[in-house]
Structure 1
Amino acid sequence: MTDQPLLQATAVHKSFGDVEVLKGIDLTVRQGQVVSLIGASGSGKTTFLRCVNLLEEHDGGEILLDGDPIGYRDIGGKRRRLSEAKVSAQRARIGMVFQQFNLFPHLTAGDNVMLGLTKVLGKSKAEAREIAGHWLGRVGLAERRDHYPYQLSGGQQQRVAIARAVAMQPRLLLFDEVTSALDPELVAEVLGVMHALADAGMTMLLVSHEMLFVRDVSHHVVFLDKGRIAQQGRPADVFDNPENERLRSFLGRFHGLFGRASAAS
C-alpha cells in the first residue's frame, strides 16, 4: 500500500427522482488499499460503487481515478459528460464483480474471460487464451476452462467472474456483495480468492455483509447511513469502538460477532 491516492471522491451526490441516495460522499482509496463499505440496505453503498464505475451518473461532486475526473469534465464552469469512447476507456481501468455472476451462458469459462481481452483491450486470441488460463488457474479453475456456466457451481461461476475482472488488469477492483447469491457452503471459496487478491496488493473497494471478512481483509472501513458517511476508520476502531449510535445498532445485528460493539449498543 502507498500514500498515493488512486480513487478520490469529493462531495458526491446522487438522486433518483426526489430521493437523494448519496448526500455528499468524500472518500479516498489509496493504491494497494482495501476499503470496505458497510451499512444497512438502502444506505447508498451499491449506488456509490455504480457511480465509480459509471454505471450510474452522479449528479454532483467529483470522482477522480489517478487524478483523472471520471465521466465528466468542468468546461467553462459547466459540467459536461465525456464522450462514450472516453467513458469506455475509463471503465476499462475499473473492474467490477456483481452480486449475480453475469457470465455469458453460451460461452465457456475460458471464453468468458477472454471476451474483454479481445474486444476491449484488442489482444490476440492466443494472448487472451494464455491470460485467461493464468487467471482461471489463480482462482482454482484451470481444469474448468472448457465448462459452460450451467456446468459450474455458483461459487465457481463467481470465481470465473472474478478472473474475468482481474484479467483486464484494472487499476481498481469493485466488489458488490459478491457472496450474497451463494449458498453458505460456497461463500468461503469466493472470499478466499478475494483475500488472495488483497494479499497480492490489488486495490479494492468492496461492499459486503460478511463482517468477519471485512474486518480481516480491510485497511479502512466506511459505515454509510442514509447516504452519508457516519463513521470510518481502521477496522479495529469501527468494529470495537463504534462512536455512532446507528453503527452500534447495525453491528448488533451480527449476533455478537463483535463483542464490545454489541455490548456498547
Structure 2
Amino acid sequence: MAEQILLRAEGVRKSFGALEVLKGIDLEVRQGQVVSLIGASGSGKTTFLRCVNMLEEHDAGDILLDGEPIGYRMDGSRRRRLSEAKVSAQRARIGMVFQSFNLFPHLTAEENVMLGLTKVLGKSKAEAREIAGHWLGKVGLEARRGHYPYQLSGGQQQRVAIARAVAMDPRLLLFDEVTSALDPELVAEVLGVMKALAESGMTMLVVSHEMLFVRDVSHHVVFMDEGKVAQSGAPSEVFDRPDSERLQKFLGRFHGIFSGGG
C-alpha cells in the first residue's frame, strides 16, 4: 500500500520492575490499514497498545503518530515527557476500545458517546447529540440511545464503546481483545461492526484471538512472542507459512483452521 505511515514504533521497550515486557518493538501502520497483533497471553500485545495511547509510559524507543513522537520530546539527548495538556491532545487523536467496555453506568448510551465530544472536543450538546445518534445508528443501536448500560447486553455495551471511540474522529483506533469478555453468541455482532469500520477505511491496530476475523480483515499481521516481533507479514504469509515452531504451536491451538497451524 502506498498510503502514508500513520503510526511508527521504533525500538520500543517497557519494563515493569525487573520484568522486561517489550524488548524493542518495531512496527508500522499505514493510513487505512488494519494491523492485527496476535500471540499468547503475556507476549506484550496489550502493553504495546497501552504505550501507543500513553496509558503506559514506554522506557525507550519512539512511538510516532503522523511523524510526531507520542508522549515525549527530545531535549538534546534526554527524553522529556510532554505536558498533560499535550498528552491529552495526542490521546484525542487515538481512539481505544477496551475489553471491559468502560461505560459510565449513570449515563445513557447517547450520553456516553456525547461526553468526549463536549468535554474534549468542545462541541455543543446539540452537535454532540447529532454525532452520537449517527454513530449509534451505524452500530445498530439507534433505538437504544436512551438506555443505560445495565439495560444493554454485553455486545450492545461494546458497540456503544466502539461508537464512542469512532465519534471522536480519531486518526487511529486501537482494539484490545474487545470480544474476550462477551458470551460467544454476542461476539459476531461486535466483529461485524469492526469489519464494517475496516471496510470504510478506518486505520486500526487490533489485538485479538479471533483468528478467522484477523485473517479476514487484516492487511498485516504481527505475531508477538515474549516481548518481540517474531514474525510479521500479510495474513496468508503468517497463517500459511509460519517460520517458527512457536508460531506453528500458537496457531495449532485453533484446531487446524489454518493450513500452517496443524
- TM-score normalised by L of structure 2: 0.99
Aligned equivalents of 1:234, 1:244: Cα separation in 2: 16
Query: How far did 1:256 drift?
Result: 1.1
Query: How far did 1:221 drift?
Result: 0.1
Contact kept, 8 Å, 1:15 with 1:21, in 2: the verdict is: yes
Aligned equivalents of 2:245, 2:4: Cα separation in 1: 32
Aligned equivalents of 1:2, 1:43: Cα separation in 2: 30
Q: Which residue of 1 aligns with 2:255?
A: 255
Aligned-CA RMSD value? 0.6
Aligned equivalents of 1:159, 1:256: Cα separation in 2: 30
Query: How far did 1:89 drift?
Result: 0.1
Deviations 1:71-103 (A, max 9, x none): 001112110000000000000000000000100
1:125 aligns with 2:141: no
Q: Which residue of 1 aligns with 2:155?
A: 155
Deviation >3 Å, runs of 4+? none
Aligned equivalents of 2:216, 2:159: Cα separation in 1: 20
Aligned equivalents of 1:106, 1:73: Cα separation in 2: 38
Aligned equivalents of 1:88, 1:9: Cα separation in 2: 20
Contact kept, 8 Å, 2:239 with 2:261, in 1: the verdict is: no
Percent of aligned pairs with the same amino acid: 82
Structure 1, unmatched stretches of 5+, are none
Contact kept, 8 Å, 1:114 with 1:164, in 2: the verdict is: yes
Contact kept, 8 Å, 2:159 with 2:193, in 1: the verdict is: yes
1:203 aligns with 2:217: no
Aligned equivalents of 2:178, 2:38: Cα separation in 1: 14
Q: Which residue of 1 aligns with 2:68?
A: 68
One-letter amino acid of the structure 2 residue matched with residue 214 of structure 1: V
SS in 2 for 1:161: helix
Query: How far did 1:126 drift?
Result: 0.2
One-letter amino acid of the structure 2 residue matched with residue 204 of structure 1: M
Aligned equivalents of 2:98, 2:40: Cα separation in 1: 18
Aligned equivalents of 2:100, 2:62: Cα separation in 1: 28
Contact kept, 8 Å, 1:108 with 1:147, in 2: the verdict is: yes
Aligned equivalents of 1:261, 1:57: Cα separation in 2: 36
Q: Which residue of 1 aligns with 2:139?
A: 139
Aligned equivalents of 2:187, 2:19: Cα separation in 1: 33
Moved more, 205-214 or 2-11: 2-11
Q: Which residue of 1 aligns with 2:52?
A: 52
Q: Which residue of 2 aligns with 1:19?
A: 19
Aligned equivalents of 2:245, 2:256: Cα separation in 1: 16
Aligned equivalents of 1:170, 1:217: Cα separation in 2: 19
One-letter amino acid of the structure 1 residue matched with residue 221 of structure 2: V
Contact kept, 8 Å, 2:175 with 2:204, in 1: the verdict is: yes
Query: How far did 1:245 drift?
Result: 1.1
Contact kept, 8 Å, 2:10 with 2:63, in 1: the verdict is: yes
One-letter amino acid of the structure 1 residue matched with residue 23 of structure 2: K
Q: Which residue of 2 aligns with 1:4?
A: 4
Aligned equivalents of 2:191, 2:261: Cα separation in 1: 25
Query: How far did 1:2 drift?
Result: 4.2
Contact kept, 8 Å, 1:2 with 1:32, in 2: the verdict is: no
Query: How far did 1:55 drift?
Result: 0.1
Query: How far did 1:262 drift?
Result: 2.7
